A and B are shown apart, each in its own frame.
Chain A
Amino acid sequence: DIQMTQSPSTLSTSVGDRVTITCRASQRISSWLAWYQQKPGKAPKLLIYEASSLESGVPSRFSASGSGTEFTLTISSLQPDDFATYYCQQYNTYPWTFGQGTKVEVK
């Protein structure tokens, strides 16, 4: 299975900060990577697909880049609604696998 490793596991930050989360794949996955946001008690929400494409309706402060094995998700100016856990997921190879998650919390 392809292992997805996110860093950091927890990010303590403030409203207005620029936030960057990294996801590394144990094998090359081209650009077949998605980013999801999950709030407590809720289903994940797709933010980014194909490594850098913004899902319809997602604010433009979210952006992402990468290909191969290294990927990043950036929030340009953190808003109160952005405190949540973020997951990367590869869909290049079965079984699909998720990262362990990055919790963005209030500093």
Chain B
Amino acid sequence: QVQLQESGPGLVKPSETLSLTCAVSGDSISNYYWSWIRQPPGKALEWIGHVYHSGGTKYNPFFESRVTISFDTSKNQFALKVSSVTGADTAVYFCAGSPRRFYYDTSGEHGYMASSMDVWGRGTTVTVSS
């Protein structure tokens, strides 16, 4: 069974880079897409992006070029970096995993895709303040 644990600084200064890591334990690591999601205080969940163990990434364009997600196979962990942070980046940051699933739809299209996020870390609070 896969387990996730986020770590990183709880306080980041404006204009600096937020850096978090998520340690992955358990089996089936190579069969998952690894996501970062955040939740500003009192608000809804926002998907930031995900990485596959081979290094392929997908990002939310909302974050433009500020975000980098990477996977370190030697340490079984993946990382999030958000540059040029402001107070709007204050949030609880979650890491999560989505199984890689084969799909075949009614139009005959088929392939592999990232499924829903079935494993989550506990979340870590990051405050952006000077």
Contact = CB atoms under 8 A, between A and B. Distances in A.
Interface residues of B, number: 25
Interface in A30-48: 30, 32, 34, 36, 38, 42-46
Contacts of B14: none
A89 interface: yes
Contacts of A1: 61-62
A87 interface: yes
Interface string B50-86: 0000000011111000000000000000000000000
Interface string A79-107: 00000000101010011111111000000
A43 B116 contact: no
Interface string A46-58: 1001100001000
A43 B123 contact: yes
The A interface is mostly helix, strand or loop, or mixed, namely loop
A96 B44 contact: no
Chain A, interface size category, equals 20 to 34
B47 A34 contact: no
B44 A100 contact: yes
A46 B44 contact: no
A43 B115 contact: no
Contact of B58 (A34, A42, A94): A94
Interface in B83-130: 94, 96, 98, 105, 113-118, 120-123
B37 to A, nearest CB: 8
Contacts of A94: 58, 60
16 contacts: A30-B105, A32-B113, A43-B121, A43-B122, A49-B115, A49-B118, A50-B115, A55-B118, A87-B44, A91-B115, A91-B116, A94-B60, A95-B49, A95-B61, A96-B35, A101-B44
Given A43-B123, A89-B116, A95-B61, 12 more contacts: A34-B116, A34-B117, A36-B45, A38-B45, A43-B94, A43-B122, A89-B47, A91-B115, A96-B60, A98-B45, A98-B47, A101-B45
